[in-house]
Structure 1
Amino acid sequence: MGAVLSAAAYAQPPIKPEGLALRLTVVIWITAIIATIVVGLRIYVRAWMLRRARVWGWEDTFAVLGYVAFLSSSVFAIKAAYYGLGTRDTGLNTFLEVRCAEYLLYSNVIYGVSMPLIKASVVFTLLRITREKKYRWSLYAMQFVATVMAIIGILASLLYCKPVKAYWNPLLGKCGDFMVVVKIGYAWTAVGIFTDWACAVIPFLIVRKLQMSRRNKTTVMVILGLAAIASTATIVRAPYLQYYLVTANRLYWNGYITLWCQLESGIGLVAACLPALRKLFSGFFDGSRNGSNPRSKQYTPGSRNNVSSHLSTPLDSLSPTGKTTVSAGKWKRLGDDNSSTKHIILHERTITIEAGSISDEEKGKEEPWRSGDN
């Protein structure tokens, strides 16, 4: 009978998503497109723009792997929406429910794979800018807990029914107590919220000690702390976990859970990539900063005017090995382990001069110096 049900289910044509199912599909598509653009830009910056500096690191690898998992989970979530996810029972039949449950399981399991990978990208980014043991061990512990919790959640989903196919086709086997899966889901959610906020707090503790201007410190803290935004989706999703146990309109309520799961991973992925994209906008920010004062201009050799220094911190240029490069007449020191022990991420010095009027008294003082030149 199980084989007959499976054959009939696979012969069932998809339905047109409406209501929540349609909103679910649109949101996932938009999130996936944005994530694709951002990850593509990250690969361009790290693998092409900075190829000579060889800054590609584990955080970039984990971001790409997390993106692949996120995209795969999104594909299965959309397919599930075409077979009943986000649709009430009145618009479904048994065959649609079988197909939907299968795609939903695939989406949930791959979502479980994507989250620790995305978290690892954030963690390894933070590990680049600190050598203090208390922060490094905190980051390692956070990543370990998040990974273990994800593994437990994945195993709970896959081992709930024997064989696994019984998860979507109950005629093929037997399933255990689903309350165990629900409890693990709550624990997983709590761990996700905690680690997301830890990823926001730790950058503040690290960067506040660095030798940077207040403006750059604020920029770095905001960029590195954006991962906490993903916790918003996690918090919103938490109340919907109770609907795992309902029998009426179960796939409809699961639509909300899937929606917030995909938003959580998508937002987390985008936030994890933002620090690497600063290189794309560094020219704009430098130009705005230097051009904001009409009396300031770029330093040129031989100028006799007073000079002032500005510091910049291109997070995208952080490198495991110390390197120094010159770009557009400005020296940039790429961060390394030695620099991080001194609480210096990067050092970019732009020399500017102030052009202003000189009083008669100052001109008189300047004449002997001019004569000496002649």
Structure 2
Amino acid sequence: MAFPAPGAAAVLVSQWVLIAISAAVVIARVYLRLAIQKRKILSSDVLMCAAWVCAVATASFDIKFAQMGALKPQVKTTLAGYNGVEGDVILLLKLFWVSSIPFFTTFYLCKAALLAVFLQVFPKFMKKRRIFLWAIIAFVAVSYVVSILMVLCVCLPIETNWALDPNVACTPVKVAAVFYVAWALHFTGDLLIFILPWLIVPGLQLKWKLKMGVYCTFLLGLINIIFCLVRFITIATSTADSVAPLSLVELWSALDCNIGLVIACLPSLRPYFRGRRGSDYPYNSNTYPKSANTRPGEGFNMITDPSGSRATTSGTPKRSPHISTSRSGVFDDPWEDGKKSNASDIELVNVKPQAM
């Protein structure tokens, strides 16, 4: 698949624009947690901030590559076409090797942040689905360890990663093995995480507009999967006669890394985009009468059912045939990243209590 080779400016501008966007998203996420929700920072927030720091570290290497002239369109991934002395080539190879560590770390911290959110979202009574979630968490953790170990251990001693002598340097077969295995683990993890929301969203009785919004949020994960595929195809289809430009590979890698960072933050930002009035709550207007109101400072909406009975506000409502709650007896907004509901933002979300 032939793509025109970008210059250093195109790589750096696209990369740092995405990093700036992701910084704004991360700040909005933290502000939501601390200033609006008045809550402590959650594990998913810490993981996302760490992912952003690693993304900045990864992007910083490209600044050095550009300064050394390695991101010129004519320079290939084999460094053919690079005009530099032997010391510069060795330095570039060292930087390539070191930069792979924050690069992989960014990917897996984004995955960990999303999994931390899902761990709070999945109700405990969905035992089989939570088992599947924990299996994915284990897979992602093992994948990260395997990826880093391959970078560190496939070519030993470490100096062979930047040696120029063909008799000493790490063989192309080993380098290719690291790329293929690491990419396969990363891509499989993305696919598994992309599947997770569809295990619970269909079981939520939401107003169709809200459900479509949730679907669209998670469908954005397809964008990241597409860039991941393009990056793989660009490198895997390179031949001896048609080696991919280094700048093009760096561009796809930056897009894959930083778009994933932005998308990983989006689910927890949903409260910024939803209404707070009763008309926007995700219950079906055909199921609940329009006489619902909320008294300030009380824990549940006052729902008048057809028989005339009303839900109590002491903390445990009288059971109505129209209301189903989780076993904890507390209404949670599954897309609030673990935020407990209160009188100002309660959402009556019905979860079908299945064992799956």
**What is the TM-score of this pair, normalised by structure 1?**
0.68
For the residues of structure 1 that align with 2:236 and 2:294, how far apart are their CA atoms? 67
Shift of 1:166: 4.3
| Counterpart residue number, 2:25 | 38
Q: Distance in 2 between matches of 1:249 and 1:160?
A: 26
How far apart, CA to CA, are the structure 2 residues paired with 1:175 and 1:324? 59
User: Could you tell me how far apart the structure 1 residues matched to 2:137 and 2:238 are?
Assistant: 27
Task: State whether structure 2 residue 258 is matched by structure 1 residue 266.
Answer: yes
In structure 2, how many angstroms separate the alpha carbons of the residues matched to 1:183 and 1:263? 23
**Amino acid in the other structure paired with 1:92:** N
Q: Which runs of 5+ in 2 are unaligned?
A: 282-289, 296-303, 307-321, 323-330
Equivalent-residue separation in structure 2 for 1:319 and 1:258 (angstroms): 36
Aligned to 2:338: 319
Change beyond 3 A, Cα 1:280–1:143? same
Cα gap change, 1:116 to 1:78, in 2 (>3 Å): same
Question: Residue 178 of structure 1 corresponds to which residue in structure 2?
Answer: 172
Secondary structure in 2 matching 1:151 = helix
Following superposition, the deviation at residue 237 of structure 1 comes to 0.8
Deviation of residue 209 (structure 1)? 0.6
Deviation of 1:241 after TM superposition, in Å, equals 2.8
Match of 1:363 in 2: none
Give the SS at the match of 2:139: helix
Q: Is the 8 A contact 1:128 1:318 kept in 2?
A: yes
Paired residue total: 302
Q: Which residue in 1 is equivalent to 2:133?
A: 139
Contact 2:271 2:336 in 1 (8 A): yes
Among 42, 63, 69, the alignment partner of 2:48 is: 63
| 2: CA distance, partners of 1:44 / 1:169 | 47
Larger Rg: 1
Change (3 A) 1:192 1:156: closer
Query: Aligned partners of 1:133 and 1:197: how far apart in 2?
Result: 21
2:60 to 72, 75, 82: 75
Superposition map of 1:185-204 within 5 A? 185-204=179-198
Alpha-carbon distance in 2 for matches of 1:28, 1:163:
33
How far apart are the structure 2 equivalents of 1:26 and 1:249? 26
Tell me the alpha carbon deviations over residues 255-297 of structure 1, each in whole angstroms, 9 at most, x when there is no partner: 33332222112111111111111222234x859969xxxxx9x
1:364 alignment partner in structure 2: none
State the Cα RMSD in Å: 3.8
**Structure with a larger share of its residues in strand:** 1
CA 319–19 in structure 1, closer or farther in 2 if over 3 Å, else same: closer
**Distance in 1 (alpha carbons) for counterparts of 2:265 and 2:31:** 12
Aligned-residue sequence identity (percent) comes to 24
Q: Who is 1:207 aligned against?
A: 201
- TM-score (normalised: structure 2): 0.71
Return structure 1 stretches of 4+ with deviation > 4 angstroms: 160-163, 243-246, 285-290, 298-301, 306-309, 312-316, 339-343
Cα gap change, 1:166 to 1:177, in 2 (>3 Å): closer
The answer to whether 1:92 aligns with 2:83 is yes
One-letter code aligned to 2:121 = I
Gap change, CA 1:207 and 1:136, over 3 Å in 2: same
- Higher RCO (C-alpha under 8 Å, 6+ residues apart): 2
Equivalent-residue separation in structure 1 for 2:228 and 2:203 (angstroms): 31
Equivalent residue for 1:110, pick from 92, 102, 121: 102
Name whichever structure is richer in helix by fraction.
Answer: 1
- What are structure 1's unaligned runs of at least 5 residues? 1-17, 291-295, 344-374
User: Partners in 2 of 1:313 and 1:157 — Cα distance?
Assistant: 43
Farther off after superposition, 71-80 or 230-239: 71-80
